Amino acid sequence: MKICGFNAVVESLHAGRVEALFIRDKRHDGLREIIRLAESQRIPVTQLSEKELDRVAEGQRHQGVVVSLRPHVMSTISDLVQSSDLPLIVALDGIEDPHNFGAIARVAEAAGAAGLIVQTRRAAPLSAAAIRASAGALAHLRLSSVVNLARALGELKAAGIWTVGLDVDSDHSIYDIDLRQPTAIVVGSEGRGLRRLVRERCDWRAALPMMGRVDSLNASVATGVALFEAVRQRTRC
């Protein structure tokens, strides 16, 4: 996979995911740190003409830099559960837009989440657009791909993980839920929300209190609110 953009490239280098770097101009000030990181990892750096770099970028806006990534090694649900003594996991139910996927990954990584659980079908793929939207956060996050999310929630519950579905119709507020325990936040699509079977498998369903005239938030914003409520609860004295 080829990705472009300074932030996504830098984070992919920090994560050790890059296998080759292509640039337009080695003298460009903004590329010096990228080149230094690549050379410190003995990653081959190739200088190309504008036309050649356009071809390598496969139609993406490249800002003069493109990297080729190693394949993402998928984690198991067990890997996510065992990642820490107090894992915080995000499970995505029907998030099909790559920009939403990337934005959720960015806020999940910022909140210290163990990783994302994604479906193999009816879900945004791990694409260049998603990685770029995540500002490179997807390079750092564990991903677990599952065929059946409802069954995966059952596996989480068997492993001692509480599952909290974000549901605008719930009578419970996210601020009333105890998130100081191993927790998975389950996020549905903006149009449909959580599917029935997934919703029924959640231990808790929680809404975000809406004080204005709109009745819901973008999926990535809602995920951020829930995740950082967990961070607040876990870090307060």
Domain boundaries, the chain: 2-69, 77-235
Give residue 40's pLDDT. 94
pLDDT band at 5 (very low <50, low <70, confident <90, very high): confident
Mean per-residue pLDDT for 62-88?
92
Mean per-residue pLDDT for 109-121?
95
Q: Where are the alpha helices (DSSP H) in the chain?
A: 6-14, 32-40, 50-57, 77-81, 98-110, 128-133, 149-158, 196-201, 219-235
Q: What is the 3-state secondary structure (H, E, C) of 45-102?
A: EEECCHHHHHHHHCCCCCCCEEEEECCCCCCCHHHHHCCCCCCEEEEEECCCCHHHHH
The CATH number of the structural domain formed by 77-235 is 3.40.1280.10
CA distance 88 to 84: 9
What mean pLDDT is reported for the chain? 91
Say yes or no to pLDDT of 237 above 60.
no
Mapped onto helix, strand or coil, the DSSP state of residue 186 is strand
Give residue 75's pLDDT. 96
Q: What is the pTM of this model?
A: 0.89
Give residue 31's pLDDT. 84
Give residue 224's pLDDT. 96
Say yes or no to pLDDT of 72 above 70.
yes
Class of domain 2-69: alpha beta
CA distance 158 to 153: 9
